[in-house]
Amino acid sequence: MKVLVVGGGGREHALVWKVSQSPRVKKIYAAPGNAGMAQLAECVPIKADDIAGLVAFASSKAVDLTIVGPEGPLSMGIVDEFQKKGLRVFGPAKNAAEIEANKAFTKDLMKKYHIPTAEYGTFTDRAEAEAYVRSKGAPIVVKAAGLAAGKGVVVAETVEEAVNALDLIMNKKVFGEAGDVVVVEECLRGEEASFMAFTDGKTVIPMASSQDHKRVFDADKGPNTGGMGAYSPAPVVTKQIEKQVMEKVMNPTVRAMEKEGRLFKGILYAGLMIHNGEARVLEFNARFGDPETQPVMARLDSDLIEIIESILDGKLALAPVKWKADSAVCVVMASGGYPGGYEKGKEIRGLDKAASLRNVMVFHSGTAFKDGKVVTDGGRVLGVTGFGPSVAAAIDTAYAGVREISFEGAHYRRDIGARALETGT
Ligand code: AMP
Ligand code: GLY
């Protein structure tokens, strides 16, 4: 079969890598892809949010299955448009993707169906939002309700900081219309984890647990990023927590979406805060996490294509979903300056050497070809992923890969996975 993967980041490279191992797949396209994916797929220069262009391409090439990586096209209704043309596509429809694209909708859904989350208010009026912030006090969290590329959340330690955030989001409109509605919520403390699951809208099967590292510097210092690394399994997600999350979060949410006439087929990702053995939902995503997908796909033993097809056919309950017992750790190498401004076009050296190491996979995020060389082309550049019998072994392997690679300004965290060691695996 012919498969099209939509997106151009590390998550999509990991998906292309996994899909390429399926005996049923003969040809892979990636749109727009990157220099890493180009080794396994034919990259076509169509942007991930050019839905009309993607529909036309998939029709003209008789693509059998399209897998959508990023939230942007999902929230714009790429799945609905493909389906209108009779094209098979993996991901939630627009009205189901709203679980990520509209935080106000999702908070109300969780309240209505008693899904554990932080106490909150939603506001379109700046004065009312400020009055709520002042009545609750700090710390408090201010969120633009719409999509803001992971930047629309401010965890405010003081009331002034929260009021400032309201000003930026509601008056200065720094996130555009994503800030038309604001969610203000209780600040939760604890350990975060990413809980991703496959669902066909009825059956929910959890993926291996994972955790990402959002802050740019070691020991969780500095500003938030799209994710500086991730590891799987995450020991904070014990068997007992997994059971609790399935019973109190994942199954009720999937049932709630069905009841609301928004059948959710695809990947449901709950961002969790775990404290004293209780998990609460920080957010839902309607897609695979990036960079969590890199270590999680490294551990998936089953054929991803078979799982996806069973979801599309509403038969996930019959699909084999098996995980390798080994651990995986992904270390992100970023451009100098990221998550602030950075330059592109720096030559990347040592990629082949790193990839030739045993149990190392080098997933590309922001890379491109220039004059026959692989160069940096984004903030997050590479996700060097190590695989091994323990988290400690996977950490060593991933950093052995990182040490082979260099580009001007490269920076990465030195402590990816360290938290898993503290919790004891
Ligand atoms: P979100 O996009 O809603 O997951 O928020 C991004 C990040 O902000 C999360 O991964 C947390 O680190 C932090 N965050 C979001 N909501 C809360 C909350 N209610 N309490 C504490 N931290 C939060
Ligand atoms: N790693 C966080 C996300 O994919 O949203």
For 392-411, the pLDDT digits (tens) are: 999 999 999 999 999 999 99
Q: What is the pLDDT of residue 75?
A: 97
Distance 408 CA to ligand 1 centre (A): 32
Q: What is the pLDDT of residue 425?
A: 42
For the cut 90, the answer to whether the pLDDT of residue 242 exceeds it is: yes
Q: Is 71 in the pocket of ligand 1 (CB under 6 A)?
A: no
CATH no., domain 2-93? 3.40.50.20
Long-range CB pairs of 210-213, under 8 A, 24+ apart, other chains included: 210/234, 210/289, 210/292, 210/295, 210/296, 211/236, 211/292, 211/419, 211/420, 212/289, 212/291, 212/292, 213/413, 213/415, 213/416
Bigger pLDDT: 151 vs 29: 29
Average pLDDT score, the chain? 96
CATH fold for the domain made of 191-318: D-amino Acid Aminotransferase; Chain A, domain 1 (3.30.470)
Identify which of 290, 293, 332, 416 to mutate to test ligand 2's pocket (most ligand atoms within 8 A of the CB).
290
CA-proximal residue: ligand 2, atom 5 (nearest): 289
CA-proximal residue: ligand 1, atom 16 (nearest): 282
CA-proximal residue: ligand 2, atom 4 (nearest): 289
Distance 294 CA to ligand 2 centre (A): 11
151 vs 144: CA distance, rounded Å: 9
Q: What is the pLDDT of residue 71?
A: 96
CATH class in words for 327-421: alpha beta
Q: What is the pLDDT of residue 120?
A: 97
Q: Is 185 in the pocket of ligand 1 (CB under 6 A)?
A: yes
- Tell me the per-residue pLDDT of 153-162, one tens digit each, with 9 for 90 and over: 899 999 999 9
Q: What is the pLDDT of residue 290?
A: 96
Distance 71 CA to ligand 2 centre (A): 10
The pTM of this model reads 0.96
Q: Is 289 in the pocket of ligand 2 (CB under 6 A)?
A: yes
Q: Is 100 in the pocket of ligand 2 (CB under 6 A)?
A: no
Distance 233 CA to ligand 1 centre (A): 21
For the cut 90, the answer to whether the pLDDT of residue 151 exceeds it is: no
CA-proximal residue: ligand 1, atom 9 (nearest): 282
Q: What is the pLDDT of residue 420?
A: 85
Q: What is the pLDDT of residue 98?
A: 98
- Tell me the per-residue pLDDT of 89-117, one tens digit each, with 9 for 90 and over: 999 999 999 999 999 999 999 999 999 99
Distance 230 CA to ligand 2 centre (A): 10
Q: What is the pLDDT of residue 423?
A: 63
CB 343 within 8 A of CB 336: yes
Identify which of 212, 213, 284, 294 to mutate to test ligand 2's pocket (most ligand atoms within 8 A of the CB).
212
Distance 282 CA to ligand 1 centre (A): 6
For the cut 60, the answer to whether the pLDDT of residue 52 exceeds it is: yes
Instruction: Please tell me the least confidently modeled range out of 40-54, 183-197, 340-354, 410-424.
Output: 410-424
Q: Is 155 in the pocket of ligand 1 (CB under 6 A)?
A: yes
Instruction: Please tell me the least confidently modeled range out of 136-145, 295-304, 357-366.
Output: 136-145
- Tell me the per-residue pLDDT of 311-354, one tens digit each, with 9 for 90 and over: 999 999 999 999 999 999 999 999 999 999 999 999 999 999 99
The segment(s) of the chain belonging to CATH 3.40.50.20 are 2-93
The segment(s) of the chain belonging to CATH 3.90.600.10 are 327-421
- Mean pLDDT value across residues 364-370: 96
Q: Is 415 in the pocket of ligand 1 (CB under 6 A)?
A: no
- Tell me the per-residue pLDDT of 243-277, one tens digit each, with 9 for 90 and over: 999 999 999 999 999 999 999 999 999 999 999 99
Q: What is the pLDDT of residue 152?
A: 87
Looking at domain 125-180, which of 3.30.1490.20, 3.30.70.1230, 3.30.2320.80, 1.10.3720.10 is its CATH number? Answer: 3.30.1490.20
